[in-house]
Amino acid sequence: MALRGFALVHPYRPHCPRPSLAVRATAAPARHRDRRHQNVDGEFFVDRRCIDCDTCRWMAPETFSRIDGQSAVVNQPSCQEERLKALQALLSCPTSSIHTEKPPKEIVEVQKMFPLPIDEQRLPGVYHCGYHSERSYGAASYLIAHPEGNILVDSPRYTPKLAQRIDMLGGAKYLFLTHKDDVGDHEKWFNHLRCKRILHAGDVEPHTADVEMQLQGEGPWSISTDIELIHTPGHTEGSVCLYYKPLKILFTGDHFAKSEDSKLSIFEQYNKVSVSMQLSSVRKLLDLDFLWILPGHGRRVEFKDSKEKNLALETFLASKEHALPLV
pLDDT of residue 3: 54
Instruction: Please give the DSSP secondary-structure letter assigned to residue 313.
Output: H
User: pTM of the entire structure?
Assistant: 0.89
User: 44-103: same fold as 6-12+114-321?
Assistant: no
Contacts of 156 (CB under 8 A, 6+ apart): 129, 130, 131, 132, 133, 141, 162, 184, 185, 189
- First CA to last CA across the chain, in angstroms? 34
The answer to whether residue 126 scores a pLDDT higher than 90 is yes
* pLDDT band at residue 7 under the 50/70/90 scheme: low
- The CATH number of 6-12+114-321 is 3.60.15.10
Ranking 24-38, 94-108, 312-326 by mean pLDDT, the lowest is 24-38
- Alpha carbon of 199 to those of 24, 106, 114, 277: distances in Å? 33, 38, 25, 19
**Domain 44-103 CATH assignment equals 3.40.50.1110:** no
Q: Do 273 and 159 touch, CB atoms closer than 8 A?
A: no
Q: Where are the domains of the chain?
A: 6-12+114-321, 44-103
pLDDT of residue 5: 59
Dist CA 103 CA 194 (whole Å): 34
* pLDDT band at residue 10 under the 50/70/90 scheme: very low
Tell me the average pLDDT across 293-300.
97
Tens digits of residue pLDDT in 229-269:
999 999 999 999 999 999 999 999 999 999 999 899 999 99
pLDDT of residue 18: 36
pLDDT of residue 6: 57
Q: 70: number of CA atoms within 13 Å, CB side?
A: 18
SS3 257: strand
- Alpha carbon of 162 to those of 128, 141, 176, 187: distances in Å? 11, 12, 17, 15
State percent of the chain over pLDDT 70.
88
Tens digits of residue pLDDT in 204-223:
999 999 999 999 999 999 99
